[in-house]
C-alpha cells in the first residue's frame, strides 16, 4: 500500500477510499441530471484522474510489472483510438469532443488512462475466480466490452465523442473485445495486485454509466 494510504488509521484506509469513489460517482450522476450539468461535465478529466489516484494510493508495489502494465494499456489504448479516429478501421467512424480534455492529434490523452483503469479493474475482478490464463483473458475482455456498451450512450449524450454513422456499429464492440484481449493476457502476468479499490471502482463505474444510461434526462 502506498505511503498515503499507510498514513491513514486502519480500517479507515479502505473506508476512506471507498467513500471517495462512491461519493464522486454519486455526485457525477446527480450533477449530470441537474441544471448544472455543464459544470459537472467539465470536471470529467479531474474525475478520471481522481479514480487513478485512489486506485494507485492503494497499490502495494510500484515495480517493473506495474509500470509495464500501465504503459502497455496506455499505449495500446491510445494507439487503437488513433487508428479508429483517423482510419475508421478500428471501432468505426467516430471523433472525440472536448469533454475529455487535452488531445494529441485528435485523441484525448486521458483515453489512455481510461484504458488502463478498465483493464486494471476488470482483470482484478476476474482474478478472484482463480481461472487459468485463457478463461481469465476472455472473460476480462468480455467484461470490458460490456462496460463499453454501458458507456456508449452516456458518452454520446454528454459529448465525449460522436459517431459519424447512424447508430453504434457492431465493429465497435468486436474491436473493443479484440483490443482488450491482449491487455487481459498481460494483466494475468503483470496485474496481480490485490488492490481493495479495484472492485469498488469497477462497481462504481458500472453503476454510474448504468444509471445514466437508464434514466432519460
Q: What's the maximum distance between 2 C-alpha atoms anywhere in the chain? A: 53
Give the phi and the psi of residue 5 in degrees, each rounded to 5: -65, -35
Q: What is the extent of the structural domain holding 92?
A: 3-214
Mean pLDDT of 10-25: 84
Give the phi and the psi of residue 162 in degrees, each rounded to 5: -140, 150
Shortest CA distance to 100 belongs to which of 122, 67, 77? 77
Question: In whole angstroms, what is the distance from residue 30 CA to residue 40 CA?
Answer: 9
Q: Which residues contact 30 (CB under 8 A, 6 or more apart)?
A: none
Mean pLDDT of 183-209: 93
Question: In whole angstroms, what is the distance from residue 137 CA to residue 134 CA?
Answer: 5
pLDDT of residue 10: 45
pLDDT of residue 217: 65
How many separate domains does the chain show?
1
Strands 107-108 and 103-104: antiparallel
Coil, strand or helix at 8: coil
pLDDT of residue 12: 55
Q: Which residues contact 17 (CB under 8 A, 6 or more apart)?
A: 5, 54, 57, 58, 196, 197, 200
pLDDT digit string, tens, across residues 28-37: 999 999 999 9
Question: In whole angstroms, what is the distance from residue 194 CA to residue 217 CA?
Answer: 37
Average pLDDT of the residues of the chain:
92
pLDDT of residue 62: 87
pLDDT of residue 141: 98
User: Taking the alpha carbons of 48, 64, 84, 108 in that order, is the dihedral positive or negative?
Assistant: positive
Question: In whole angstroms, what is the distance from residue 113 CA to residue 133 CA?
Answer: 24
User: Is-contact 193 59, C-beta < 8 A?
Assistant: yes
The three cell numbers locating residue 123: 482483470
The three cell numbers locating residue 89: 478501421
pLDDT digit string, tens, across residues 55-99: 999 988 888 999 999 999 999 999 999 999 999 888 999 999 999
Give the phi and the psi of residue 79 in degrees, each rounded to 5: -65, -45
Amino acid at each position: 500500500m502506498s505511503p498515503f494510504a499507510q498514513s491513514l488509521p486502519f480500517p479507515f484506509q479502505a473506508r476512506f477510499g471507498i467513500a471517495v469513489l462512491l461519493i464522486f460517482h454519486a455526485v457525477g450522476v446527480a450533477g449530470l441530471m441537474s441544471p448544472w450539468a455543464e459544470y459537472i461535465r467539465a470536471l470529467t478529466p479531474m474525475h478520471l484522474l481522481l479514480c487513478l489516484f485512489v486506485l494507485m494510493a492503494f497499490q502495494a508495489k510500484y515495480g517493473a510489472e506495474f509500470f509495464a502494465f500501465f504503459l502497455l494499456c496506455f499505449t495500446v489504448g491510445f494507439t487503437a483510438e488513433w487508428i479508429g479516429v483517423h482510419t475508421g478501421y478500428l471501432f468505426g467512424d467516430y471523433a472525440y469532443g472536448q469533454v475529455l480534455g487535452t488531445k494529441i492529434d485528435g485523441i484525448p490523452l486521458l483515453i489512455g488512462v481510461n484504458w488502463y483503469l478498465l483493464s486494471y479493474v476488470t482483470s482484478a475482478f476476474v482474478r478472484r475466480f482463480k481461472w487459468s490464463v485463457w478463461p481469465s483473458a476472455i472473460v476480462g475482455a468480455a467484461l470490458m466490452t460490456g462496460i463499453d456498451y454501458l458507456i456508449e450512450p452516456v458518452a454520446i449524450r454528454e459529448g465525449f465523442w460522436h459517431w459519424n454513422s447512424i447508430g453504434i456499429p457492431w465493429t465497435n464492440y468486436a474491436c473493443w473485445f479484440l483490443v482488450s484481449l491482449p491487455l487481459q493476457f498481460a494483466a494475468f502476468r503483470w496485474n496481480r495486485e490485490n488492490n481493495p479499490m479495484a472492485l469498488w471502482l469497477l462497481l462504481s463505474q458500472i453503476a454510474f454509466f448504468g444509471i445514466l444510461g437508464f434514466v432519460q434526462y
